[in-house]
Amino acid sequence: MAAIDLATVHAVVFDTDGVVTDTARVHAAAWKHVFDAFLRGRSAPFDVRDDYLRHVDGRPRLDGVRTFLASRGITLPEGSPDDGPDAATVHGLGLAKDALFVAEIGRHGVAAFPSTVALLHELRRRGCRTAVVSASRHCRALVASAGLTHLFDVTVDGVDSARLGLAGKPDPALFLEAARRLGEPAGRTAVVEDALPGVEAGRRGGFALVVGVDRSGERAAALRAAGAGVVVEDLAELSVTGRVPHAGTGDGETRRSTVGSGEQEGRS
């Protein structure tokens, strides 16, 4: 059975969409709606699996627009954040997608993957620090909506990325910033990712272990080629070894004072 060995790994950084929260499909559906409307009469429709996974998944929103359109040989003006969601610009398409995503989450809420929650509890029970990372500006709201804020010491999201000038995946900057805030070097930190750019970022960052999550059961080879040392279809397949649970601690709820200080750090 694949394992995170806490004899060598002292912290774990989790991607958000598709790893912690079941929101990747909501992102993909929003992208399809926006791109299909734009592509009508120009190109074939957006493929919610292939195009999403190849060109959009794991990337900052505007990079996803640029990368997908480039795959179709289409170039648009950048525009500006002041563009409306109906503008035929990179910012306009990005804003249209964001509005759809926020509306959908507002209507239906956010669900967490039970196996991820169980893994987080086990890691924290054994004294392992944890972080959650996303290129999305909505990361904190998504994690809070899923009721998981107390299980992470640190959050690094799109707000932090913009403020600090961090490059998007496959650059490892987001993951390295999370490890820095956790107080651990990359060589003692694991990354858990489901997107190819994120797995590549973990490899490029020199992390101790990169776990690729292949929920479709169809991308194991691609995830390994991108740099995953371990690939699982669900995090229930991943065990935790190498450190005895702290005496007298529970599943993370009893470490609320530590978590509170870490969350404050994540908002700096």
Under 8 Å between Cβ of 104 and 222: no
Distance CA 149, CA 30 (A): 25
Q: Is 22 noted as a catalytic residue in this protein?
A: no
Residue whose pair of structure tokens reads 């990325």 in the numeric block: 161
Q: Which residues contact 95 (CB under 8 A, 6 or more apart)?
A: 81, 83, 84, 85, 87
C-alpha distance from residue 112 to each of 21, 143, 149, 266 (Å): 4, 8, 12, 21
Q: Is 15 noted as a catalytic residue in this protein?
A: yes
Residue of 5, 15, 83, 234 marked active site: 15
Residue of 5, 17, 63, 98 marked active site: 17
Q: Taking the CB of residue 40, how many other CB atoms lie within 10 A of it?
A: 9
Active site residues: 15, 17
